[in-house]
């Protein structure tokens, strides 16, 4: 892959109190977009509190371009267009900012940086960038926009590519 600088692993953990789009709940799935790249989770049948624990991996080729992830949640329909169930934007800047640090002096579980919810992000609660099991990770819960209710819990992890700049 020409120009590859790293991989961004996104673990979609679960949905919380997602909107009802069908009589018996919803059949939600999550779409992750980064630029022109698009990945999807599996569909969880009849659930407004689905558990995914699915990992989606995106390749990042331009380190100078601000990385914004767009998450969308949809209700899968068989005979009509899938219903939108909200969206959220993720700024991975806080995770990328700590990558230059030397982790040698960090203890497992150390919180490196905290990001508070604000009008400029979709965080439902404070998010922490941590050093865990030899990797920088960021756990977060995103409040979905453009919908009556719903949150998505996920974890971001950066993977360096040997020899990449």
pLDDT tens digit sequence for 89-142 = 888 889 988 888 888 889 999 999 999 999 989 999 999 999 999 899 999 999
Beta bridge partners of 91: 68
Nearest to 60 by CA among 162, 161, 134: 161
Segments forming the whole domain that contains residue 62: 6-160
CA 152 to chain centre: 8
Residue 136 domain-assigned (yes or no): yes
Residue 1 domain-assigned (yes or no): no
Residue 103 domain-assigned (yes or no): yes
Residue identified by tokens 């993977």 is 159
Residue 107 domain-assigned (yes or no): yes
- Which strands, in side-by-side order, build the sheet including 28-34? 37-40, 28-34, 68-75, 83-91
pLDDT tens digit sequence for 131-164 = 999 899 999 999 999 999 999 999 999 888 777 6
- Is residue 71 within 8 A of residue 30, CB to CB? The reply is yes
Nearest to 157 by CA among 4, 2, 5, 10: 10
Residue 74 domain-assigned (yes or no): yes
DSSP structure class, residue 93: H
Supply 106's token pair.
């960090």
Task: Give this prediction's pTM.
Answer: 0.91
Nearest to 67 by CA among 99, 114, 43: 99
Give the chain's domain count. 1
Q: The CATH number of the domain where 16 resides is what?
A: 2.60.40.150
Going by C-beta distance under 8 Å and a sequence separation of 6 or more, which residues neighbour residue 121?
Answer: 89, 91, 115
Residue 165 domain-assigned (yes or no): no
């Amino acid at each position: 892959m020409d120009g590859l600088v790293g991989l961004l692993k996104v673990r979609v953990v679960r949905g919380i109190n997602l909107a009802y789009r069908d009589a018996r709940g919803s059949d939600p799935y999550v779409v992750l977009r980064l630029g022109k790249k698009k990945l999807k989770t599996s569909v969880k049948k009849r659930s407004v509190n689905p558990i995914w624990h699915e990992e989606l991996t995106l390749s990042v080729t331009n380190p100078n371009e601000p990385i914004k992830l767009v998450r969308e949640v949809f209700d899968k329909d068989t005979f009509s267009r899938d219903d939108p169930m909200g969206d959220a934007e993720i700024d991975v800047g806080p995770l990328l900012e700590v990558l230059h640090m030397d982790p040698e002096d960090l203890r497992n579980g150390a919180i490196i940086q905290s990001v508070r919810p604000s009008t400029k992000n979709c965080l439902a609660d404070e998010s922490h960038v941590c050093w865990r099991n030899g990797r920088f990770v960021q756990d977060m819960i995103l409040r979905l926009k453009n919908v009556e209710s719903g949150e998505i819990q996920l974890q971001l992890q950066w993977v360096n590519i040997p020899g990449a700049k």
